[in-house]
């Protein structure tokens, strides 16, 4: 049985984000602290896994096989869930064998690792990619990179309820939109499905636009049959995935000092900096209230010594 326990989706705190550049613009932001829901399986990864685990359980699978890089938050959460819930995990990794803090954790959690090289990893979207792996591991359920696809998005719909139940604690009766980092676009797609046009969802791309996040979101929305979708994406990659520069690092340091909220440079740091740029550009009117989703991933900070 791969089904999670009853407390699989603990409540994430929703709290006001106090920063000068928001106050000066008359913008209020509440941050959904998914980083605080679990010490290992934190962030949006809990939510993206739920429907995949249910599908694996229905198929009678004994575990999960999935993909990611040497700092992958998805594989880290998956391996931790496998260890905690007692199911087998296999990771197909981008590039060549290397030791990172994340990889060390994957091994400690019992995940079997296979390195695909870079060309082999690029082939993950090609027809027939999964066939040899499913032949080698017939008892495992294949999950897309990052826990993506419609199943991952459906699991993320629960984030809206996490926010709605806490609005009164902030003195809010409603809000005007969501802002979050996007790696595969799965969490954004889940919020788009949950909102069905009621509130816009803004995604800050942590990867370059040519990674195809927008088409992936559109494919999920179309597959779901949703009639009304209100979302937009903004380039926040700062030159490429995992590209880190002094401006970003300084912003993260000052923000953490001012707010007490820990960030990391691949997703949440880039997303919040992109929001600051849009606020200063006048995109949002005075009085706008936004929900910023802290998607977790703090374990990935260990790969950046200046952020640890």
Neighbours of 144 (CB within 10 A): 21
Evaluate whether residue 290 is within a structural domain: yes
CATH of the domain at 190: 3.40.50.1100
13 exposed, middle or buried (CB, 10 Å; 0-12, 13-18, 19+)? middle
Q: Are residues 128 and 249 in the same domain?
A: no
HSE-CB at 279 with a 13 A cutoff on CA atoms is 23
pTM above 0.85, yes or no: yes
> Among the three residues 150, 175, 192, which one is the final residue of a domain in this structure?
150
Q: What is the pLDDT of residue 304?
A: 58
Q: Are residues 136 and 115 in the same domain?
A: yes
- Mean pLDDT score, 146-160: 95
| Residue pLDDT, tens place only, 205-240 | 998 888 889 999 999 999 999 999 999 999 999 988
| Residue pLDDT, tens place only, 99-135 | 999 999 999 999 999 999 999 999 998 999 999 999 9
Distance, in Å, from the CA atom of 304 to the CA atom of 267, rounded to the nearest integer, reads: 13
Q: Are residues 248 and 172 in the same domain?
A: yes
Q: Are residues 176 and 302 in the same domain?
A: yes
- Mean pLDDT score, 82-107: 96
Q: Are residues 142 and 258 in the same domain?
A: no
- Beta strands (DSSP E) in the chain are 14-16, 28-33, 63-68, 88-93, 112-115, 140-142, 177-182, 201-205, 231-235, 289-294
115 backbone dihedrals φ, ψ, rounded to 5°: -95, 130
Active site residue 72: yes
Distance, in Å, from the CA atom of 232 to the CA atom of 78, rounded to the nearest integer, reads: 29
Q: Are 90 and 62 in contact (CB under 8 A)?
A: no
| Residue pLDDT, tens place only, 9-59 | 788 999 999 999 999 999 999 999 999 998 888 899 989 999 999 999 999
pLDDT above 70 covers a percentage of the chain that reads: 96
Domain range holding 214? 14-39+154-307
Of the listed 42, 72, 224, 237, which one is catalytic?
72
Q: What is the pLDDT of residue 303?
A: 63
Evaluate whether residue 3 is within a structural domain: no
Evaluate whether residue 228 is within a structural domain: yes
């Amino acid at each position: 049985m791969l089904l999670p326990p009853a407390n699989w989706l603990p409540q994430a705190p929703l709290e006001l984000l106090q920063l000068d550049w928001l106050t000066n613009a008359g913008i209020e932001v509440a941050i959904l602290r998914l980083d605080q829901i679990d010490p290992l399986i934190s962030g949006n990864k809990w939510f993206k896994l739920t429907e995949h685990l249910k599908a694996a359980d229905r198929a009678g699978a004994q575990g999960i096989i999935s993909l990611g890089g040497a700092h992958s938050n998805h594989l880290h959460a998956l391996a931790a869930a496998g260890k905690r819930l007692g199911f087998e995990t296999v990771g197909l990794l981008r590039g060549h064998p290397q030791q990172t803090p994340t990889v060390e954790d994957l091994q400690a959690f019992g995940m079997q690792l296979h390195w695909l090289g870079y060309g082999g990893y690029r082939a993950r979207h090609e027809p027939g990619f999964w066939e040899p792996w499913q032949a080698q591991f017939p008892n495992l359920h294949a999950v897309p990179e990052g826990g993506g696809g419609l199943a991952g998005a459906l699991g993320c719909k629960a984030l809206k309820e996490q926010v709605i139940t806490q609005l009164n604690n902030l003195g809010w009766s409603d809000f005007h939109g969501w802002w979050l980092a996007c790696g595969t676009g799965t969490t954004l797609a889940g919020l788009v499905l949950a909102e069905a046009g009621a509130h816009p969802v803004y995604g800050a791309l942590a990867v370059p636009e040519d990674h195809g996040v927008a088409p992936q979101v559109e494919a999920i929305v179309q597959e779901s049959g949703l009639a009304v979708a209100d979302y937009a994406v903004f380039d926040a990659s700062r030159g490429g995935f995992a590209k880190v520069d002094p401006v970003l690092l300084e912003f993260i340091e000052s923000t953490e000092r001012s707010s007490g909220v820990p960030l990391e440079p691949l997703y949440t740091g880039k997303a919040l900096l992109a929001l600051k740029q849009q606020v200063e550009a006048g995109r949002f009117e005075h009085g706008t209230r936004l929900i910023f989703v802290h998607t977790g991933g703090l374990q990935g900070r260990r790969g950046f010594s200046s952020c640890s």
